[in-house]
Structure 1
Amino acid sequence: MVDVDALGQHAADYGFAYLITITPHSRVHTSVVHPSVGDGAVTVPISDRVRRNVGENAEVSLVWPPADATGYSLIADGTGVDRDGVLTIAPTRAILHRPATEPSAPGAADGCVQDCVEL
């Protein structure tokens, strides 16, 4: 279960996010969005294309890129519902993610090359 309050606190440190949906032809579609986090969900105004995509496949992802190359990306997966042009996403997983640069990073001893923090 995702701590949506923690997700909201972290998301406040980022400007924009990429919303990733899947088209009816199984292709990835990426949109730049400005999500709001609160009341247990993430909300995003959406285009007609995103509305069609979510109507076919409700699974979506959001990626907030880091401000610099050494920072964490914030990634959230979830299920989206279109409510009159606003996508309401129930997060199912959220992580802070960056490449592991230190041998002492979590998972490095197991050969993991990622530094991930579950929210």
Structure 2
Amino acid sequence: MSIPVAIGDLAGALADFGSGYLLTTTEGRVKVVTVDPELDGTDLVARGPGRGTLANLAANPAVTVVFPPAEPKGYTLLVDGTAAAEGEDVRVTPTTAVLHRPRSHADGPVPPDGCGHDCAPV
């Protein structure tokens, strides 16, 4: 079950989540680091995720930021985008965002309030 989140509504959706995981790739390997990104307009800025992440971005700017559910069987917020290093930090420009959970968790909590629309799963 997925609920699209408009990029302009990302701030509202993020209000219901804590730390996220920034996923970068290079040479077929995925690197995952914990981040607490701040919003700058509609961009996410992750402070100091580390040299390995920055090296991955130099080779491949495509990223995903995963915000796990706050409670069991809740929705995960997935943000796909492109990223660039800014010194030791990373700026992610989102291209898509979605609240997602598997159908097997349909008996879980209702979608977060901040999704920006009627929150109907598609």
- TM (normalized to structure 2)? 0.76
Indicate yes or no: 2:92 matched with 1:94. no
Residues 94, 48 of structure 1: alpha-carbon distance in 2 compared, 3 angstrom cutoff: same
- Greater RCO, 1 or 2 (C-alpha within 8 Å, sep 6+): 2
Larger Rg: 1
Quote the Cα distance in structure 1 between the aligned partners of 2:68 and 2:13. 12
CA 1:47 to 1:117, structure 2 compared with 1: closer, same or farther past 3 Å?
farther
Unpaired runs of 5+ residues, structure 2, are 107-119
**What whole-Å deviation, never above 9, does each CA across 1:81-108 have from its counterpart, x for those lacking one?**
1011111111011000011245xxxxxx
**Aligned positions, number:** 103
User: What is the CA–CA distance in structure 1 between the aligned matches of 2:64 and 2:121, rounded to whole Å?
Assistant: 17
Structure 1 gaps, min length 5:
103-115
Distance 1:117 1:51, change over 3 A: farther
* Amino acid corresponding to residue 34 of structure 2 in structure 1: V
Q: Which residue of 2 aligns with 1:42?
A: 44
Fraction of identical pairs, as percent: 32
Task: Please provide the CA RMSD for this pair.
Answer: 1.9
**For residues 65 and 19 of structure 1, do their structure 2 counterparts lie closer, same or farther at Cα, with a shift above 3 Å needed?**
same
In structure 2, do the counterparts of structure 1 residues 9 and 37 end up closer, same or farther at CA, with 3 Å as the change threshold? same
Structure 2 CA distance for partners of 1:30 and 1:6, relative to 1, 3 Å: same
Please give the secondary structure, in 2, of the residue aligned with 1:8: helix
TM-score (norm 1): 0.78
